[in-house]
Structure 1
Amino acid sequence: MLKFNSPLEAFLHWESNAPSLVFLNQPIANKTISFTYKEAGEEARRMASALKAYNLVEGDHVAILSKNCAHWVLADLAIMMCGFVSIPIYPTLNANSINRILEHSESKAIIVGKLDNFDTQKEGVQDIPIISVNLYGESGGDLWENLVEENEPLQVLNRQIPEALHTIIYTSGTTGTPKGVMHTVSNFMESSHILPPIFNLPQHLRVFSYLPLAHVAERVMINAGMSLGGTIFFIHSIDTFASELEKTQPHAFFAVPRIWTKFREKILESLPQSKLNVLLKIPLINKLLKNKLKKKLGLRDAHIVCSAAAPIAPSLIEWFQSLDIRIMQGYGMTEDCCVSHFNTPIDNRIGTVGKTLNNVNAKLSAEGEICIKNNCLMKGYYKAPDLTAEVFDDEGYLKTGDIGEFDHDGFLSITGRVKDQFKTDKGKYISPSYMELIISKNTDIEQVCVVGSGIPQPIVLITLSELGKAKQKDKLIESLKETVAQMNPTLENHEKIEKIIIMKEEWSVDNGLLTPTLKVKRNSIEKIHKAFYIEWFKMNNTVIFE
């Protein structure tokens, strides 16, 4: 793998050495628009000239508000070419959250790309220039297309130096107010150089980009793709996700646990478990079926299939392994630029997040908190020196906020979050994460949140999967009761589950109960439902419909 000093240097290498290679594939309506490396370079240089015309100076901050699309990457390149700092914003945030990030980050301009409904968000953008991409139906401020047509390509490009501030990534906020994580150019290149060789990613790989580019993991994947001269494929919409993934057959596929749950759900809708079990026992059909399912899921050519960002049930990994789909669980966070722990194809232990990666030091504090030191730790939280000081110990290790343990072979297991622990009214502390993993084995369940502050025993709040919604009520209740009956004997007395509450409302990004990376926002769920805990606890039924 070639090594570069910056993302821009990687792009310029392939632009010079493989100009006709397709870099970006953007489906729109009933067609696909492609940009070769040469065409992308031309467009980004013209946009860089346009950005310079706003009287911005080197080091100024420029925001990107967009779903994943070709113009997100083109905008990022243009920002790099000017020597500006990118401020990615999750495309699902409301106007207030957008305004808070723009003001806190001191952004001097914003590029608005592919969005569902910018009309409901634009109040959050005040007193700075807006550049909108008309291709995606946006027309506020200055049009990207007009600026590209009116400006000549920027001739003298910024040379990104390793220690320069590259981006400020605002965390998705499972707890508290999002914080601006500062990463340098060298941080991203360290991450982009370490991860691809571990997974044997090929040169000119196919990248399927759908997880938010405002998240560090997807950003690292794009940078790795650029370093390897890859082609990046985007999706038209969530409705076309499955067909476009099947068409792309990427060389690497990264998903959060909820997506793996959805994949299993879709397979079982058309092929019930009982029938699947029978077919897998027939030698010839077994192989044909597995190959067909891998191709249908878009995983036929995948060198690596990953799950991270939240805990995944070992039973779910084992289920996919029965189909010859090996999911490697990993662990990283925005603050360490994803370089921490990972299972690999040659060293994989289900139920763990893998061993400590090379060039990483890890330790557990006296309380069991995982602490990380690597060569791409954040430089701090933007304009928050006190918060920055709180998350580093005296030896410069990042305090992750996760509780874990290492086994004798060095594999790390995440056992909980420091801030997720709660105390029942018996004075007993509960760490809910591992309990939630056990409960999520039940395929009738979509999402899980174990709570219990102020009541004698913990209770479980759940939303139903499509399989669960399709079940008769009595069968559903029986299934959930059985899960509790099987689980409770394995728990300490103070941990035993008393009730399961089925929520009326789905938990989603739109209603603020999931982060943009589809993790449950425990604090938000508790804020809504905590007043009902005692009432639910006193009810006679084990399974309660909200």
Structure 2
Amino acid sequence: MTIDPQKLTSAHCLFYWAEKTPDNVYLTQPFPDGRTEDITWAQAADQVCRIVAYLNSLDLPERSKIVILGKNSAHWILADLAIWSAGHVSVPLYPTLNGDTAAYVLDHSDAKLLFLGKLDGKADGWNDIKHHIPQDLPIISLPLSPRDDTPKWIDLVAQHAPAKPRLPAPDDLATIVYTSGSTGRPKGVMHSFRTMISVADGLQQLFQVTPADRMLSYLPLAHVAERAAVETQSLYYGFHVYFANSLDTFQEDLQRARPTMFFSVPRLWMKFYLGVTAKLPLKKQKVLFNIPVLGGLVKKKVLKQLGLDHCRVALTGAAPLSAEIINWYRNLGLELLELYGMSENFGYSHANRPGQAKVGCVGVPNPGVEHRIGEGGEIEVRSPGQMLGYYKNEEKTKEDVTSDGFLRTGDMGEIDAQGYLRITGRVKDLFKTSKGKYVVPVPIENRFNHPMAEVVCVAGANQPQPCLMLLLSEEARAALDSGMDRNALEQELAQELEDVNAACEPHEKVAFLVVVKDPWSMENGMLTPTMKIKRNVIEEFYHQKMDAWFAENRRVVWEF
């Protein structure tokens, strides 16, 4: 991998652009009152160096672990840069964590300081987390912090002259990323500056990133995907990053940014699709899209209303997205590309190339990445972005990394003759029916593609056959509340189930589906921050109801 010697680490990159393009806007932050703040490269570097002066005055031990807790914001990235430029290690915390898990990470990471950012206690875990922050842990409040009784970033910037940054070495420990964790306690994934910056050159080879690009940052910066795609790339290539204010203003925020590159998770791509089809039904789309000239204009209008009319690179990851939805976007003129990565390799593993994508595959190995299928069909990957190991857990590191340096991903997959990887499930997701037959749930879930289904989970351990639990989309739930024909929807869901079962082995055929009542969310622990289902949590929650559902002997069971 070729890294520019002037941009050896993300911290080096900040000062490179501050010197080269000082007046170019780097970060645009919206506020709840409707105003926005633009921060240039020069201003970003100046604020960082002033906070470095304050951090130096605290006489923290060398390489102290400093936590960042908050939703995405311009100052989240600036805090990360200040930590690094003062010679310390950043530890991001998901803003949706519960208090118990936050307390575990604060203790396990040996945190010496907390940057407290954008939180309001409404769509985050602040109301629980705040009771678990140690009384003796120093706090610096970033703009939009829920506390005003701590030293504030804005005041510290005003009170301190800029200090000279202590730029790190590429192999220094940069960050400890605690996995969102679909099972058990989160593990602290250690990344060096080299493993983080190594993704930049590879992504350039795939997508030709330039300083003219724009991105909207809204997926959790505490996760490596956003850190790699937005933070690291923007610092390396010097492009403009916009932030989202809230879910309510997301469309407005997207329109402001008009991103040229947009990375999202399947749940949001599905929401966009459902929003468009609610206003322009599929039957009408089919007619309009096929009219010469007019069809092209209508497609462009749809993309413009989504805020994606300038998007040249559209990426989806973290979970599977159905071929039907991917093809719908491609028909609009947006080539949606699936990719694959993990916290342990800084999200740098596989991607589909523009013009060479295979729907249903996560692509081929990124430049510098090797892959193979190991024992039991498990995908093994060796990447330039591979972690240093798990913090304070050498035993788990040895368990997850082979003797020749390949990461055991925990995912099962197949590699075709052209080198394209297809994910077929999680090693630990397999379960046995009461007949002793193994069921692999992910492929079944991937085949269930009803447009009103937001997310599904196949379960049924120790039952005669699997069943499928289904959460309706927000739009579908609203339509039902407004009088939509429930019987018609039930028939459609039953037919979709039949279509899914037609491709299943006899022991895998789904006995029935359950339309669940309670939404699955990050807040109630059913979803990870990257919108993956926490299968063990969902199964445990519904376990007591399974026998009664089987006894109903219906194809579609309604929980409400």
Q: CA deviation at 1:293?
A: 1.3
1:61 equivalent to 2:65? Answer yes
What does 1:327-476 align with in structure 2 at a 5 Å threshold?
A: 327-439=336-448, 441-469=449-477, 470=479, 471-476=484-489
**CA deviation vs aligned residue, 1:434-489 (integer Å, no higher than 9, x gap):** 110111x1012111000010101000011111453323110111011101111212
Partner of 1:102, secondary structure, is helix
Identity over the aligned pairs, expressed in percent? 38
Instruction: Tell me the CA shift for residue 202 of structure 1.
Output: 2.2
Instruction: Find the aligned partners of 2:369 and 2:190 in 1 and give their Cα distance.
Output: 19
Deviations 1:251-277 (A, max 9, x none): 110011101110100001100111111
Q: State the Cα distance separating 1:40 from its structure 2 match.
A: 0.9
- Cα distance in 2, alignment partners of residues 347 and 287 from structure 1: 23
1:280 equivalent to 2:293? Answer no
Counterpart-to-counterpart distance in 1, 2:186 and 2:48: 30
Alpha-carbon distance between aligned partners in 2 of 1:135 and 1:41, rounded to the nearest angstrom: 20
Amino acid at match of 2:18: E
**Code of the aligned partner of 2:377:** G
Q: Does 2:185 align with 1:180?
A: no
The separation in 1 between residues aligned to 2:346 and 2:149, in whole angstroms, is 33
Aligned to 2:280: 271
From 155, 167, 178, give the equivalent of 1:146: 155
Match of 2:248 among 226, 235, 239: 239
Cα separation, 1, equivalents of 2:174 and 2:490: 52
Deviation of 1:119 after TM superposition, in Å, equals 4.5
1:441-520 residue pairs with structure 2 within 5 A? Answer: 441-469=449-477, 470=479, 471-520=484-533
Q: Secondary structure at the match of 2:386?
A: coil
Separation of aligned partners in 1, 2:139 and 2:220: 21
The secondary structure found in structure 1 opposite 2:332 is coil
Residue 207 of structure 1 aligns to a residue whose secondary structure is: strand
- Contact 1:468–1:476 (CA under 8 A) maintained in structure 2: no
Whether 1:192 aligns to 2:200 is yes
- The answer as to whether partners of 1:58 and 1:82 remain within 8 angstroms in 2 is no
Count how many residue pairs are aligned between Structure 1 and Structure 2. 544
Q: Distance in 2 between matches of 1:466 and 1:206?
A: 29
Residue 134 (structure 1) shift:
4.6
- d(CA) in 2 for partners of 1:517 and 1:246? 23
Q: Letter of the 2:362 partner, please give it.
A: V
Cα offset, 1:303, TM superposition: 2.2
Q: Using structure 1 for the length normalisation, give the TM-score.
A: 0.97
Q: 1:112 aligns with which of 110, 116, 133?
A: 116
When residues 514 and 135 of structure 1 are mapped into structure 2, their CA distance, relative to the original with a 3 A threshold, is closer
| Aligned 1:4-43 pairs, distance under 5 A | 4-28=7-31, 29-43=33-47
* Whole-angstrom CA distance in 2 between matches of 1:78 and 1:389: 33
Matched letter for residue 21 of structure 1: N
Distance of 1:203 and 1:230 partners within structure 2: 4
| Counterpart secondary structure, 1:238 | coil
Per-residue CA distance 1:159-199 (angstroms, 9 max, x = gap): 21111000000011112211100000000110122113311
| Counterparts of 1:140 and 1:379, CA distance in 2 | 37
The whole-number CA distance in structure 2 between the counterparts of 1:376 and 1:233 is 25
Deviation string 1:415-434 (CA, Å, 9 cap, x unpaired) is: 00001111111101111111
1:56-95 equivalent positions in 2, closer than 5 A: 56-95=60-99
CA deviations 1:221-256 (Å, max 9, x no partner) are 211111111111001111111121122111110011
Counterparts of 2:205 and 2:148, CA distance in 1: 42
Q: CA deviation at 1:319?
A: 1.6
Deviation at 1:136, TM superposition (A): 4.5
Structure 2 residue runs of 5 or longer lacking an equivalent are none
For structure 1, list consecutive stretches of 5 or more residues without a partner in the other structure. none
Specify the code of the residue in structure 2 equivalent to 1:6: T
Question: What is the alpha-carbon distance in structure 1 between the residues aligned to residue 116 and residue 411 of structure 2?
Answer: 35
Secondary structure of the corresponding residue to residue 249 of structure 2: helix
1:228 aligns with 2:241: no
Q: What is the Cα deviation at residue 540 of structure 1?
A: 2.2
**Partner Cα distance (2:339, 2:271) in 1:** 19
SS at match of 1:58: coil
Letter in 2 for 1:97: T
Query: Which piece of structure 1 moves more, 49-58 or 336-345?
Result: 49-58
Partners of 2:210 and 2:75 in 1: how far apart?
25
Q: Does 1:542 align with 2:546?
A: no
